[in-house]
Structure 1
Amino acid sequence: MNDKYIVYFISKTKKKMLKFIEKKLKEKGLDDLIPSHGNVLTALYENGGRLTMKEIAKRIGKDKSTVTPLVEKLLKLGYVEKEKSQNDKRVTYIKLTAKGRQIESKYDQISGDVYDVAYRGFSDDEKEIFLGLLKRLNDNFTETE
């Protein structure tokens, strides 16, 4: 088996997937956003529309320093806003705006399109095996951090 191409194909697939998402964003009139914004928005959609930066970072598996510029851009574009906690003034929430909520169905459609293309021709068993293998690969690198 020629396993030296595994990392190559993972990288190549990621690039193609990002290009696909960028195309779908443009088709939906969301070309002011980039694929990484989808992670932040999805975390908010799935958690009542309001999270702290730390919670967003944890949910999307990124460092807070990576999430900050993504959220700043979403703030600037009007998709989210900051809200101080009533209980603890040190805590600031990132909250979806009406504009952010209005595009949720478009994001759901794009996500559905991504999954449809990604898993085309895969059986449920194959998807489960594939996910398990990817998790194991990911864990191998997590151990080196």
Structure 2
Amino acid sequence: MNDKYIIHFISRTRKKMISFIEKKLLENGLNGLIPSHGNILTALYENNGKLTMKKIAEITRKDKSTITPLINKLLEYGYITKEKDETDKRVTYIIITSRGNQIKDKYKAISNEVNITAYKDFSQEEKVIFLKLLKKMNNNFN
């Protein structure tokens, strides 16, 4: 086996997946949103629509400096709002708005379609092995 192509295929697959998601976002009228916004919205959807910036960074496994521009774009589009904690003004909450909740079903459908497409023709056993191997490779870079 020629293992020098493994990294190449991982990179190509990532690019194709991002293009797939971007296309689905446009098809669903979610213009201006990018795949990374989905991580933030999903974190909020799964946590009663209210999280601190720190917690969002932790859940999405991204630096605060990385999520700040993503948060700002979601604010601009009206999908979220910011609110200071009343007892500790250093803490800022990110809260999903009604507009943000209106797109929840579209995001869930896109996410489901990505998973169906990604794992098409995979057995359950293959999915388990694949995830185990990807985690192993990921940990090699720690």
TM-score by length of 2: 0.97
Unaligned 5+ segments in structure 1 are: none
* Structure 1 residue aligned with 2:138: 138
Match status 1:36 vs 2:36? yes
Unaligned 5+ segments in structure 2 are: none
Question: SS in structure 2 opposite 1:99?
Answer: helix
Deviation at 1:58, TM superposition (A): 0.8
* Structure 2 residue aligned with 1:101: 101
Hey, what's the Cα distance between the residues in 2 that align with 1:59 and 1:136? Answer: 20
Contact preservation (8 Å) 1:49, 1:95: yes
Hey, what's the Cα distance between the residues in 2 that align with 1:106 and 1:16? Answer: 20
Hey, what's the Cα distance between the residues in 1 that align with 2:129 and 2:50? Answer: 34
Deviation at 1:75, TM superposition (A): 0.6
Deviation at 1:136, TM superposition (A): 0.7
Deviation at 1:85, TM superposition (A): 1.2
TM-score by length of 1: 0.95
Contact preservation (8 Å) 1:40, 1:56: yes
Deviation at 1:87, TM superposition (A): 2.8
Q: Residues 66-96 of structure 1, C-alpha deviation per residue, up to 9 Å, x if partnerless?
A: 0000001101110000011123222110110
Question: SS in structure 1 opposite 2:116?
Answer: helix
* Structure 1 residue aligned with 2:90: 90
Q: Which runs of 4+ in 1 moved over 4 A?
A: none
